[in-house]
A = this chain, B = another copy of it.
Amino acid sequence: MSKNSPSVAGTKPSLPQGTRDFGPDVVRKRQYILTTIKNVFELYGFQPLETPAMENLETLMGKYGEEGDKLIFKILNNGLNDPKNIDKAKAAFENVLQGKNDKNLTERALKYDLTIPFARYVAMNHGQLTFPFKRYQVQPVWRADRPQKGRYREFYQCDADVVGSNALINEVEFVNIYNTVFQQLGIEGYEVRLNSRKILTALAELCGGADKMLDITIAIDKLDKIGLEKVKEELTQRGLTTEQITTIETYLNVDGSNEEKLQHIKALLQQSEIGNKGIEELEYVLSMEHTQLPIIDFTLARGLNYYTGIIFEVKAPATVKIGSIGGGGRYDDLTGLFGVPNIPGAGISFGVDRIYDVMEELNLFPQTIAQGSKVLFFNLGIEEAKIGYALMQQLRKQGTAAEIYHENVKMDKQFKYAEKKNIPFAVILGSRELENKMLVVKNLQTGEQQTLKQEELLSYSF
């Protein structure tokens, strides 16, 4: 910051569209959610990983489909006006104007999700890692999406993945991670829903061929939003026959308890080897210990086409109209894109912004989160403040968060400060108390106050 730029004074500052400042209260609430999730990840043996905000452009491009690629924020190379760069930069700019990418203009970009950087990390370090490698990652990502309610250009993702394992025990672990987190956060009425891409594959086979898989999953994925009739319309548009659509409708109508659903689906898919495998896998997951049983939901599809096994989705309590607050699934090959094949895995993520909204709406954040300091020492003179300060240092040594008001002003103003900052106790040490080696502790909520010897402060229970 240079003090020599008075000319720009008066510029009214603003934030880039789709980004947010998080003030103290919001940071504390977000930390409460993130710390809960991280602690549960650790409880389940997952280890933290952090990757940079910036990746090489080529690491990201081509990984998120055409639409995704357009939403990647690219970073302009520095020094473009350097004579040795200028010609290349001009040529590169022409490419960019034609909708291409060129690393002579933008060598780097901001990460778009946590999965591809994780894959890049595993591919770069697979020789040193102990497999199965269980990592969690909680970091911001950036997308040049059009901002709207609940959609930001900079937002946190919160992922856990295990790679280098085909074992279904991992799926059981993910169900229980969801259970443990949402129970610890006090969210009641959430639902962990399960399906299997193997069952969807079997359905596609039943409808005439695996080539229908993508059409079917994309259409089914919209069921919640657009309803059955529109899904059927979309299936027609995507070239499925009436007979095939009837089969899909039968599939989507499978209902009842988990057991009933599984019975129906077995009847429907009995001819399909992959279908039976999918059913067996779901049965295994259901057979294991859970604090809350997951719900089989055959209408769950998850649009992303890299899932190959069990898929997850967590629904927020029905009383809040928020929808999905988490999801994930199993994939066959994480790092093939980076030249390291045969590393299968599974992963889940938490929708942090939506969980925040659920917590707010259901009033689930503990009151104590909003509190900073426990004690405000009043400032009533130089000598008074000096003694007060030394006492405060003793309190802090015991772990009590405390502040001293910065200047000797009217008590009114100091009370006001304590109130605004939600500080529950005041320690008042004026000239009389200074003389008698006393002080007054005042509970600012009840108004009660107590005169103590100064040395008694340390045993006072705030």
Question: Which residues in A have some Cβ–Cβ distance to B below 8 Å?
Answer: 1-6, 8-16, 19-24, 27-28, 31, 42-56, 58-59, 62-65, 70-71, 73-76, 78-81, 86, 89-90, 93, 96-99, 105-108, 110, 113, 115-116, 119-121, 123-125, 130, 132, 134-135, 140, 142, 144, 153-154, 162, 165-167, 169-170, 172, 176, 180, 287-289, 291, 304-306, 333, 336-339, 341, 372-373, 379, 385-386, 389-390, 393, 396, 399-404, 406-407, 417, 420-421
Contacts and interface: CB of A to CB of B under 8 A. Distances in A.
A237 B149 CA distance: 59
B144 A78 contact: yes
A376 to B, nearest CB: 8
Contacts of A50: 21-22, 27
Nearest to A14: B56
A99 B81 contact: yes
Nearest to A108: B16
- Per assembly, the copies of the chain total 2
A8 B99 CA distance: 20
A389 B54 contact: no
Contacts of A64: 1-2
B89 A78 contact: no
A42 to B, nearest CB: 6
A198 B68 CA distance: 55
Greatest chain B CB density within 10 A among A1, A135, A399 is at A1
A44 B80 contact: no
A52 B115 CA distance: 21
